[in-house]
Amino acid sequence: MLIDLHSHLEGRVRPSTAAELAAAGGVPEPAGGWEQAIRLTGPADLTVYLAKVASTYPFFRSAESARRIAREAVEDAAAAGLDYLELRFGPATHADDPRGIDAVIAAVAEGMREASRATGMPSGAVVAALRHHDRDTNLAVARAAARFAGSGVVGFDLAGDELLFPELAPHRDAFGIARAAGLGITCHAAEAAPGAAAREAAELLGATRIGHGAHIVDDPDVLAWAADSGIVVEVCPTSNWYTGAIAAVAEHPAPVFRDAGVRLALGDDNPMQTGTDLRDERAVLVGVLGFTPADLAALDRVSLDSAFLEPGTRRDLQSRHQR
């Protein structure tokens, strides 16, 4: 079963769509074209990686463009055989004020709904606060996400450059708003920062899932906590290589997590930047990291259990998984 719980909308913009939207909106074409601007050629660090993702930001300034990108992202995932997709995005990056944040979320949610209706593949939006934004901006993002709870938005996240902005405490109130609205809570943590950041995200922000979490394995105490607490780590092996979180795909800590009893889900993070999708990431788990069919079945169960799904959708996916 292909369940993608960690994928960024800004990292799923088709280069062909970028070219069309740029031409229509007067955005200058970068040297080498949009595919070169969007795609990484090899490993770097998190800051360089995020700069590639940011090349798509101009296209989210228009609500109609944001809706189109969201629709195409879900269509592409369905065409690749996915059974469920969660798409996360940072609306404050694409808005000038709180009203604009609502407009971006509404456009993305509508585009996702259109594609889910057309393809039959369910999807849910995860709204992301960003580390480099100030407290008031992220409070506005949380309030907007709460307004759309049950109307396409299923979760709340903290994303951005953990290397440059490691502090979590400034975001505590925003996550309190999101939790009160019933949104699922995930958080990018321990991707560039030490493993203890993952535990802080769970205890301070209420995260039940941790995005990446690669450095959890560097701290035996945090690794034991992760196994005992039931926290879910969203692993994205190829992306972690491209961001420099690991030195090689073969060194990804997924097997260490598995052997320690940590619950795992899988994501493709920013597939247009890395040139990989969820099916490729699953192949990495098997062909490079030694996951067995039983390991994949366990991953599927965890993914179904930890996805930010409405009960009816979860039951439908569970019944399909059991066939």
Question: CA 78, CA 84: separation in Å to the nearest integer?
Answer: 8
Tell me the pLDDT band of 312, cut-offs 50, 70 and 90: confident
- Inform me whether the pLDDT recorded for 323 exceeds 70: no
pLDDT digits (tens, 9 = 90+) for 88-109: 999 999 999 999 999 999 999 9
- Inform me whether the pLDDT recorded for 31 exceeds 90: no
Question: What percent helix, strand, coil does the chain show, rounded to 5?
Answer: 55, 15, 30
* Average pLDDT estimate for 31-57: 89
Residue 200 is a catalytic residue: no
Domains and CATH numbers, the chain: 3-21+28-322 (3.20.20.140)
Q: Which of 75, 86, 162, 191 is catalytic?
A: 191
- Inform me whether the pLDDT recorded for 265 exceeds 80: yes
pLDDT digits (tens, 9 = 90+) for 118-135: 999 999 999 999 999 999
pLDDT digits (tens, 9 = 90+) for 213-241: 999 999 999 999 999 999 999 999 999 99
Query: Which residue, chain included where needed, has tokens 């922000």?
Result: 205
Under DSSP, is residue 45 helix (H, G, I), strand (E, B) or coil?
Answer: coil
Question: CA 104, CA 144: separation in Å to the nearest integer?
Answer: 10
